[in-house]
Amino acid sequence: MTYSESLEYLYSSQPAFHLVGAAAYKPGLDNTLALMDHLGHPYRRFPAVHIAGTNGKGSTSHLIAASLQSAGLRTGLYTSPHLVDFRERIRVNGEMIPEDRVVRFVEENRAFLDALKPSFFETTMALAFQYFAEQQVDIAVIEVGLGGRLDSTNIITPLLSVITNIGLDHTEFLGDTLPKIAFEKAGIIKPGVPCVIGETDPETMPVFLDRARECGILGHGLETTDCRLFFADQCGFLRKCRLRDIPECQLHGLYQEKNMQTAYVALRQLQSQGLPLTRDAIREGFARVCTLTGLRGRWEILSSRPLTICDTGHNSHGLRYVAEQLKRLQEEKCQLSIVNCQLRIVFGMVDDKDVDVVMSFLPKNAIYYFTQAKTHRAIPATRMCELWGRPARAFASVESAVRQAQKEATDEDIIFIGGSNYVVGEALTMF
């Protein structure tokens, strides 16, 4: 088989959530356990950090992985979805899994996969775990796919669990209230395993406290800080994360401040467990996170004239921060320039997001180029225009929308590309 044939097999024979949505979702661990038994339980051959959350889990995963890598640890990183290349999902020390290793996995296991019929995510995770074991990683950072309690990744017993935040997303699977969603995410908290909770609110905090008590990891005190750290009882009390402790970071989105806090507290906890994480290693990891791990699409500057930025925020919880940053950026640019700065937004979303809420806080003074990515889940660009209810244009492809925005923009303008991972992924191939 060629690499292209192997990918085609994975996409066609095992439904992928990023392509077909709900039809690909298979809650429960039965398939995963069968896969692990077939492969000889590779996840038992390396320690791991497990990360869940509505938003920020990708950035937090990369920050932690970059710091571990900077500390000299051979570090595996499993994240989803990918933006451009499937192999972005599986990395060791920032290097993507080789194409021939993907081919070999499919060839060696095709008969078993045909019989079991696991989901695309279950198969991809199995490939990642086997690869990490073969590569003899010192530690792996594992991002949850969806939810937590019933997610395929929840077979691991990590050194540390991390939950970044809770927002209303994937409500058809996880529940339609914050406490219900928090319950699913809290499912990655395990007995005796410390857990970092990045953000809470009065609705979700009781859920995490209840789960922490069940698992016997609630410490002797609790501080009302953005980052809350549950130590195992024997480890003592909770530790506060101060902003001045956070190193400078290669990630620049406003929302990254919370992710940096969460990652920093997680790294300090891993340090307390004996991992060789010096301040210099953490500083290096934060300062070079994109360079070290290949992270893309997080408030990424694609061009300077005109200033062109993309971001993978894709639900109301994440896009609210993006909208606020765009407003601030436009105001600052207008103040610094004699010529007014026009904000131009290339935007598309998928059909399981709270589009009406997102529309309510998007900048009203921008020129919109609504578009649709190449996925069955994309909301048609014409429908996006209808939902916007103001003058806007619809474009059948991301490329045509971006090209038109570039054609009309002056050097002083701002072009923003976002709304979904898929829109950003297609845009990245153009730059």
How many percent of the chain have pLDDT more than 70?
90
Beta strands in 85-168 (DSSP E): 90-92, 95-96, 139-143, 160-163
Query: Do 398 and 371 touch, CB atoms closer than 8 A?
Result: yes
CATH at residue 256: 3.40.1190.10
Same domain, 253 and 179: yes
The SS3 assignment for 80 reads: coil
Both 28 and 113 in one domain: the answer is: yes
* pLDDT at 400 exceeding the cut of 90: yes
| pLDDT of 19 | 53
**pLDDT greater at residue 253 or residue 410:** 410
Residue 221: domain span: 3-293
**Residue 257 contacts residue 321 (beta carbons within 8 Å):** no
Torsion, CA 145, CA 151, CA 152, CA 156, rounded to 10: 100
Specify whether 305 is located in the same domain as 199.
Answer: no
Helix residue ranges per DSSP H, 14-98? 17-20, 30-39, 57-70
Report the domain count for the chain: 2
Task: State whether 415 and 342 are in the same domain.
Answer: yes
Per-residue pLDDT reduced to its tens digit, 76-128: 999 999 999 999 999 999 999 999 999 999 999 999 999 999 999 999 999 99
Q: Tell me the per-residue pLDDT of 172-207, one tens digit each, with 9 for 90 and over.
A: 778 889 999 999 999 999 998 989 898 888 899 899
According to DSSP, the residues that pair with 77 across neighbouring strands are 91, 141
pTM of the model: 0.91
Asked if residue 160 and residue 264 are part of one domain, the reply reads yes
Question: Is there a single domain that holds both residue 311 and residue 284?
Answer: no
